[in-house]
Structure 1
Amino acid sequence: MALRIGVPAETAAGERRVALVPDVVKRLTQQGMSVRVEKGAGTGAFITDAEFEAAGAQIVTREEAWASDLVVHVQPPSEAEIALLRSGSVYIGFLSPLDHPEIVEKLARQGVTALAMELVPRISRAQKMDALSAMAAVAGYKAVLIAANLLPKFFPLLTTAAGTVRPASVLVLGAGVAGLQAIATARRLGARVSAYDIRDAVKEEVQSLGATFLELPFEVPDAQDVSGYAKALAEEKQRQQAQLLVPHIGRSDVVISTAQVPGRRAPVLITEEAVAAMQPGTVIIDLAAPSGGNCVLTKPGETVVHNGVQIVGPLNLPAEMPVHASQMYARTLLAMIQEFATPEGFKPDFEDEIFKGACVTYNGEVVNERVRALLAA
């Protein structure tokens, strides 16, 4: 019997993405796999059941989708959803394993082989499976649009009969994928952009996008890990960094903060003193809100106004662009499925660097060392 791939509808509040899109479904069915999509799963992304059926999918009930051989999902599953998974089945999706190790433990108890898309290693062969970067690009783009909408000023330089309007000043904190996309988008809108990152290695990327790279007068040895992610700074260095950023933040019309360290609370880059230095009407978009926020005044999921400064703490910006976000995410899942699955079944391979990095549960056990350590603690 052909490998059955299940696509359940997302149930998390505000989530509008769907794990697979018709184009990807068509490619999988042409390869001899069976795709079962829960009725209405694509509604939030403006995809009808008829479009899925035309691509070769079966429209099934919620229970049937979760009872598939391989289940793909966007948000981490709830306890009730985990209970619907069959022992011996495979789950692929976002799991937040370092923030919510208890979800991983429940998947192990259910006898599910689970792969976390966040843990796909950053190697060249795995670039097409890098869902985290794909969604970060969406978030960086959307963050700038929100800021431009909230800012009571123009972004670009304008010369009019009524005089010249100076361009808005945008500061991006953290030049990872989200930060670089934010820089590119703000530049397209005509803003004057500067960016800061503790990793000197990203300086050229920032400058290539037309932004100024902000260099602070303090040393940070080994600022990034082997995967290219920023490392957490020592507490004293964090305080020094935040203090040095105050005048730069104070001169900005918009601050987009993106700095996060996997598995840890987001570093504080924007202190109350920095917010006090900003002018009324200015905007902070804190993309690190899900992990505590880069701004001390951020409230995850809310917009706070402090002395006239608007501080936005979005939790899931990719869900606000569900059409392209779903397409991008589905392609990363397609690459993962094609790497380890055939029409006959899913083939675990712990000799493969990608599988070993992403796999968190197998054969009833938690196999990721970092998650095991968190559970033991």
Structure 2
Amino acid sequence: MAVAIAVTRERREGETRAALTPETAKKLIGLGATVIVESGTGLGSSIPDADYAAAGATVAKDLKTALAGADVLLKVRAPTAPEILALKPGAVVIGLLDPHREKDALKALTEAGASAYAMEFVPRITRAQAMDALSSQANLAGYRAVIEAAAAYGRGFPMMMTAAGTVAAAKAFIMGAGVAGLQAIATARRLGAVVTATDVRPAAKEQVESLGAKFIAVEDEEFKAAETAGGYAKQMSAEYQAKQVELTAAHILKQDVVITTALIPGRPAPRLLTAAHVASMKPGSVIVDLAVEAGGNVEGSKPGEVVTTPNGVQIVGWSNLPGRIAADATALYARNLHAFLGLMLRDGALAPDPDDEILKSALIAQGGQVVNEGLTG
């Protein structure tokens, strides 16, 4: 019997993305699956129900109808209680489940006996590149962060020479040169800003400079060893952080735009800018905090708000920046899910290999237990 794949409307506040596009629905059907989509699933990404139906998916009138008999539930964010309660025993749930913070959802999925796969835990190996949802969404977040900064900034980004005089280029400082940071650098450069960037990973220096930005960091012995085997930043010592804070304090005085992107998996976001840093910046300057949902890199940032400080600095704390460019975010994420599901489907049936490195890394709950080592300690 063909596997039944369901996609329900996102119910988390402010979530505009969807876990499926007509393109990926058609591909999944081509693999022998049946696809059921709850009505309204794609509206936030400008995808009407009719487009899903035209691709061969069944459009269900409501949540319970969509999930009745579903073997797999695809989500952007962690499912809500009504969705989990409607799942059949042993169903597979795949999404950006954020298990470190969405503890209630993880508990409910575990108690429901679901096999839950967190796309955040897909390993960064060559074979899994097409499934790397964190990177696909971070790319768009980095781009959108610059667009938001440009919209909030009261001046132009590029240098412009006019008969009335010259407009100086904006100075943009990108803190964190991972996927989001590198895209922010590239976008700010395309808009004509003078760009500098910093990161604690030594490999980032060459990447930053290849994009035409200047690299700013305390390059001591600790800096040279500041990267995990998986390519993520390590938690730095208090001594190193103090040195970096001092360097940042001197550099930030001259900046018009600062974009912070630092995240450490499973931990609160590191504090990069203190209130004193923000107070030292020029009136009219802009900070965009991409880590605001994880506690924030910037003291004073607030999720879902733009805070204007007494000295006239705007701190932009929009949550879910990929969701502010929803059509593209949905398209990329849906392809990530299609690639991931390809590891599980054999002749239209679910047949996941329990020894597959990618599936083992992403699996967080199964058979009524939390099975991921990073969540059981």
Aligned counterparts of 1:131 and 1:370: Cα–Cα separation in 2 = 19
Please state how far the C-alpha of 1:217 moved relative to its aligned partner. 5.2
Which of 64, 77, 86 is the aligned partner of 1:75? 77
- Corresponding residue for 1:40? 40
How big is the shift at 1:110?
0.3
- Residue 121 of structure 2 aligns with an amino acid whose one-letter code is L
Structure 1 residue 6, shift from structure 2 partner: 0.2
Query: What is the match of residue 21 of structure 1?
Result: 21
Q: CA deviation at 1:178?
A: 0.4
Give 1:58's aligned residue. Answer: 58
| Unaligned stretches of 5+ residues in structure 1 | none
Question: Helix, strand or coil: the match of 1:40?
Answer: coil
Rounded to whole Å, the distance in 1 between the matches of 2:19 and 2:185 is: 28
Q: What residue is the counterpart of 2:98 in the other structure?
A: 96
Which residue is 2:267 aligned to? Answer: 264
Does 2:207 align with 1:216?
Answer: no
Indicate the residue corresponding to 2:122 in structure 1.
120
Identify the match of residue 162 of structure 1 among 161, 164, 172: 164
Structure 2 regions of 5+ residues with no counterpart? none
**Deviation per CA, 1:185-211, whole angstroms, max 9, x where unpaired?**
101100010100010101111111111
Deviation of residue 219 (structure 1)? 4.1
Structure 2 residue identity aligned to 1:191:
A
Alpha-carbon distance between aligned partners in 1 of 2:165 and 2:369, rounded to the nearest angstrom: 68
1:11 aligns with 2:11: yes
AA matched with 2:272: L
Residue 339 (1) aligns with residue 343 (2): yes
1:362 corresponds to which of 361, 366, 374:
366
Q: Distance in 2 between matches of 1:232 and 1:301?
A: 27
Structure 1 residue 240 displacement after superposition: 3.1
Which residue of the other structure, out of 225, 230, 246, is the alignment partner of 2:228? 225
Q: Does 1:289 align with 2:285?
A: no
Question: Which 10-residue stretch deviates more, 135-144 or 218-227?
Answer: 218-227
- Between 7-16 and 170-179, report the one with greater CA deviation: 7-16
Indicate yes or no: 2:202 matched with 1:203: no
Summarize the Cα distance change of 1:334–1:122 in structure 2 as closer, same or farther, 3 Å threshold: same
Partner letter of residue 50 of structure 1? Answer: A
Looking at structure 2, the residues matched to 269 and 121 of structure 1 have their Cα atoms a distance apart, in angstroms, of 27
Q: Cα offset for 1:81?
A: 1.9
Q: Which moved more, 1:274-283 or 1:74-83?
A: 74-83
Deviates more, 1:96-105 or 1:222-231: 96-105
| Residue aligning to 1:275 | 278
Q: CA deviation at 1:248?
A: 1.1
Distance 2:13 2:103 in 1: 21
The percentage of counterpart residues that share the same residue type is 48
Give the partner amino acid of 2:107: E
Q: What is the deviation of 1:10?
A: 0.6
Between the two proteins, the alignment pairs up a number of residues equal to: 373
User: Which of 79, 85, 88 is residue 86 of structure 1 equivalent to?
Assistant: 88
The whole-number CA distance in structure 2 between the counterparts of 1:248 and 1:350 is: 50
SS at match of 2:76: coil
Inter-partner Cα distance in structure 1 for 2:109 and 2:71: 14
Question: 1:68-110, CA deviations, whole angstroms, 9 ceiling, x for partnerless residues?
Answer: 1101000111222211111111000011112233322221110
Amino acid at match of 1:226: A
What are the residue-to-residue correspondences of 1:131-210 with 2, within 5 Å?
Answer: 131-210=133-212
- The answer as to whether partners of 2:31 and 2:345 remain within 8 angstroms in 1 is no
Residues 268-295 of structure 1 deviation map (CA, whole Å, 9 limit, x = unaligned): 1111221121100000000010111111
Q: Please say if residues 98 and 370 of structure 1, whose CA atoms lie closer than 8 Å, have aligned partners that are also in contact.
A: no
SS state at 1:37 partner: strand
- SS of 2:195's equivalent? strand
Q: Kindly provide the CA deviation profile for residues 164-193 of structure 1, in whole angstroms up to 9, marking residues without a partner as x.
A: 111000000000000001001101100010
- The answer as to 2:311 corresponding to 1:310 is no
The 1-side partners of 2:297 and 2:136 are apart by 21
SS at match of 1:321: helix
Q: Using the alignment, how far apart are the partners of 1:314 and 1:179 within structure 2?
A: 16
Structure 1 position 344, deviation (Å)? 4.0
